[in-house]
Amino acid sequence: MTVFHLSTECYPVAKVGGLADVVGALPKYQNKIKGVEAKVVMPWYNKAFIYDHEFDVVFDGFIHQGPNMLQVQVMKEKTDVLGFELYMVKIPGLLDRENPYGYQDESFQFLAFQQGILHWLTAMQIRPDVLHCHDYHTGLVPFMIEYCPEFEFLKGVKTIGTIHNGEYQGMMNWNMVDYMPDFDSWKWGLLDWKGYINPLACMIKCSHAFTTVSAGYLEELFISFKGLESLVRQEFGKAYGIINGIDTEVWDPETDPMLDYNFSIKNAVEQKKKGKLKLCKEYGLNPELPLFAFIGRFATEKGADLLPDVVWRSIKQSYGALNIIILGSGNTYIENKLKEYEYIYSNFALDLGYKEHLSHKIYASADFLLMPSRVEPCGLNQMYSMRYGTIPVVRYTGGLRDTVADISTGGAGLNFTYAGVDDVIHAMNRAISIYNQKEVMQNLIYANMKFDFAWEKSAEKYLDLYRK
Ligand code: ADP
Ligand code: GLC
């Protein structure tokens, strides 16, 4: 069975968030299953990876986007070093950029990506068994292969759409229709949702099955899905919640080259302590105090708007009996507020930016990881921190409620219900009291490290779905 994963991100080639981690790992684990051949198709980016690796040009052609003729090249990484065949679609001007997102003309960018892929597959007569589309950026593919005469060759290929983040739907004005490949115009309604072309809605309507990255998140979409609630209810018959795994080869505290002090469950307590000492020294924090960390995008989805108040109130209310370290970037108001507090409070450290190495060190060295997410389709941070023996303190939502159970119910983490400052601080107080009970704390470290979030189980679930 050949499966092509279509995605704008893939670790380590280009990563903005968890989508990259999933697409960089799932195909690798699928390829370990007999009879499955999983590949990844992504845009070409001007990133270090392309300079460090060699590519073959496997296709060179042209597509029309409205009045514009665009060159399309497909480059294959020569050695399959990532554990799967990696294809990168290069379209000068649109798909040869520094970053996946953030451009004014992203509708043109993603339309060209999807059309480029399908043009290549059609021209080279490559007919996979499954096209697995990730998020709205590739959400029009199931429609295009059914209703664009140009891609007739691919008609009937099975399509799966995975929703990693339903907050982003890629809505476009209808005038963008002129830039799409020709399609059976009777089918326009499949593209439409409330007067816009909505690629995510179209993916839900046209794919043979769609998935969300946790079962908990799927349930929540029925009541809160940025206007698509009724659609997901109508299409429920083909909806599946499959929780993400983590790449336990990349995220292995015993071998992780990004850590200063590697550890296994046998020496976790001592080694984590050394890591914490070093981190605290670098950031001027007191290593005796409990260390809370937040890593992620400064977006309301992640509850990052709560962080400034959480920082000052938790420090004040505990009379400085805790440390907080925050790594991330995003909303400038939040960034500025946090910068101000970093200046005022010596118990608070801030590192603005995207730093893969530092994130690994923090997962390994902090005592607690804070995730006050309002929306969390799956969340990978909590799983990384648990594998590295750091206790997750999470809001009870989406994938977080599927992966982190509270200690009061036999779990090894802490849950809170509302995305509000009071609830976060209450949970932090509970965490501090655990920190002060040495034995309880150690047992929780071990319990977290023992959780099995390996991809194998979920890779099998996807395979069952493909077979279906
Ligand atoms: P999302 O994809 O919604 O941002 P996830 O929890 O699925 O959330 O994945 C986030 C991924 O991005 C994790 O691998 C996390 O470690 C990483 N990450 C987020 N922010 C940063 C940052 N500032 N520096 C390094 N890694 C980060
Ligand atoms: C999205 C979600 C996150 C999820 C990730 C990978 O970015 O916000 O919760 O873990 O995709 O599926």
The CATH code of the domain that includes 391 is: 3.40.50.2000
CA of residue 352 to ligand 1 center, whole Å: 13
Kindly state whether residues 50 and 111 are assigned to the same domain. yes
> Average pLDDT in the 78-90 region?
98
3-state SS record for the chain? CEEEEECCCECCCECCCHHHHHHHHHHHHHCCCCCCEEEEEEECECCHHHHHCCEEEEEEEEEEECCEEEEEEEEEECCCCCCCEEEEEEECCCECECCCCCCCCHHHHHHHHHHHHHHHHHHCCCCCCEEEEECHHHCCHHHHHHHCHHHHHHCCCEEEEEECCCCCCCCECHHHHHHCCCCCHHHHHHHEECCEECHHHHHHHHCCEEEECCHHHHHHHCCCCCCCHHHHHHCHHHEEECCCCECCCCCCCCCCCCCCCCCCCCCHHHHHHHHHHHHHHHHCCCCCCCEEEEEEEECHHHCHHHHHHHHHHHHHHCCCCCEEEEEEEECHHHHHHHHHHHHHCCCEEEEECCCHHHHHHHHHHCCEEEECCCCCCCCCHHHHHHHCCCEEEEECCHHHHHHCCEHHHCCCEEEECCCCHHHHHHHHHHHHHHHCCHHHHHHHHHHHHCCCCECHHHHHHHHHHHHC
Mean of per-residue pLDDT scores for the chain: 97
The verdict on residue 258 lying in a domain is no
The verdict on residue 256 lying in a domain is no
Q: Is the CB of 351 under 6 A from ligand 1?
A: no
Q: Is the CB of 166 under 6 A from ligand 2?
A: no
Kindly state whether residues 446 and 462 are assigned to the same domain. no
CA of residue 37 to ligand 2 center, whole Å: 24
CA of residue 376 to ligand 2 center, whole Å: 7
Kindly state whether residues 274 and 216 are assigned to the same domain. no
Kindly state whether residues 226 and 158 are assigned to the same domain. yes
CA of residue 191 to ligand 2 center, whole Å: 24
pLDDT at 99: 96
Q: Is the CB of 381 under 6 A from ligand 1?
A: yes
Kindly state whether residues 190 and 330 are assigned to the same domain. no
- Quote the percentage of the chain above a pLDDT of 90: 100
The verdict on residue 120 lying in a domain is yes
CA of residue 241 to ligand 1 center, whole Å: 21
- Quote the percentage of the chain above a pLDDT of 70: 100
> Average pLDDT in the 257-278 region?
98
> Average pLDDT in the 239-251 region?
96
Substitution candidate for ligand 2 out of 213, 246, 297 with most atoms within 8 A of CB: 213
Domain hosting residue 62, numbered range: 2-246+456-467
Kindly state whether residues 371 and 460 are assigned to the same domain. no
Kindly state whether residues 7 and 115 are assigned to the same domain. yes
Q: Is the CB of 380 under 6 A from ligand 1?
A: yes
pLDDT at 372: 98
pLDDT at 200: 98
pLDDT at 194: 97
> Average pLDDT in the 156-172 region?
98
Kindly state whether residues 149 and 281 are assigned to the same domain. no
pLDDT at 202: 98
pTM: 0.96
CA of residue 297 to ligand 1 center, whole Å: 7
Domain count, the chain: 2
Kindly state whether residues 439 and 298 are assigned to the same domain. yes
Substitution candidate for ligand 2 out of 19, 240, 301 with most atoms within 8 A of CB: 19
pLDDT at 349: 98
Report the nearest-CA residue for atom 11 of ligand 2.
164
CA of residue 9 to ligand 2 center, whole Å: 12
Report the nearest-CA residue for atom 1 of ligand 2.
164
Q: Is the CB of 18 under 6 A from ligand 1?
A: yes
Band (pLDDT 50/70/90 cuts) for residue 411 is very high
